[in-house]
Amino acid sequence: MSLDPQLRQRIKDLLQANRIVLFMKGDPRAPQCGFSAKAVAALTALETPYAHINVLADPEIREGIKAYGDWPTIPQLYIDGELVGGSDIIEQMSNSGELHSALGLPAPDRTPPTVTVTPAAHAVLRKAIDDAGGDLVVKLDIDPNYRTRLALAQPEAAAITVECDGVRVQVDAPAARRADGVTIDWADDTRGRGLVVDNPNAIPPVRPMSPVDAQARTSDGTVRLVDVRPADERAQAAVTAPFMTLDDGPAALEALPKDTPLAFLCHHGGRSGQAAERFRQLGFREVYNIEGGIDAWSQHVDSTIPRY
């Protein structure tokens, strides 16, 4: 495919303006394909800012970048104007430490995590490995949102291996610290039936908070209240406690330290629950949804607040 000179210059300008550029499907908060999600996970683990271009929103760039670097697929990572490669190469370089070196970062911590395989899980895994031919490992994938997947896989030289009484568990270097302390068990109880992973590092789920507790914690400054309703709704009924809004977008809230306690409020608790879950997935570790919303606040905290 020949590349239009104006489009070529446009791509050059993007690469000159940003040292690290990821051309992907979707954006880092919501990748629109599994390969883009893998690339984002590897880059996120480096905690280094990078520019991203959503090719789904720009068909011209989507086709043009393939011709520019003579690389047929998306995502594509560029560093200092040079093509690095797609998601598999990004992941391999992240595991080996080459990506860190290319960015001038310290080598990744390759200290093996502590992983426990219970006797019940060991028996199941040992049989599965033997039935599949024996030369396999248990691949433990934990993404930055702590979504976890177990699978039998071929050994990878760049991955970190943990020996558990003859069962080898492998984890990619970027996920090693997220895997530290993990227990793999076999369940046949309220957790379901099958292999389950208990990860003490996982981000806690969104927790409910009563309006009474929200009022008390907002007053003493131990939680930040976020009213997700639009301005016209807040004009009908609003709490007297200090609160933040999303009127100007989520950037200010997203920039807060991830250990900042957040309590989300809406009319009845539905929209605030969705917002709370989104911020939990962004890595905030103490997130609450105020039960019953402003309506319950009016009933149990401040009866002068109009109900609507």
Q: For residue 143, which amino acid is it? A: D
From 123, 111, 110, 108, select the one nearest 164 (Cα to Cα).
123
Which alpha helices (H) appear in 104-230, and where do they start and end? 119-131, 176-179, 211-219
Pairing between β-strand 192-198 and β-strand 182-189 as defined by DSSP bridges: antiparallel
* The residue type at 236: Q
The rounded radius of gyration (Å) of the Cα atoms in the chain is 24
What tokens appear for 185 in the block?
């068990």
99, 137, 214, 266: which is the annotated catalytic residue?
266
Give the CB-side neighbour count of residue 2, counting CA atoms within 13 A.
3
Q: To which H or E segment does residue 140 belong?
A: strand 137-142
Q: Is 164 annotated as catalytic? A: no
Q: Count other C-beta atoms under 10 Å from residue 73's C-beta.
A: 11
Q: In angstroms, rounded to a whole number, what is the distance separating the alpha carbons of residues 153 and 111?
A: 21
* C-beta contacts of 121-125 below 8 A and 24+ residues apart: 121/184, 121/185, 121/186, 121/195, 122/164, 122/165, 122/167, 123/186, 124/186, 124/195, 125/167, 125/184, 125/195
Give the N- to C-terminal CA distance of the chain in Å, as an integer.
59
Assign residue 238 a region (left: φ > 0; alpha: ψ between -120 and 50; beta: otherwise): beta
Q: Would you please indicate which residues are annotated as catalytic (active-site) residues?
A: 266
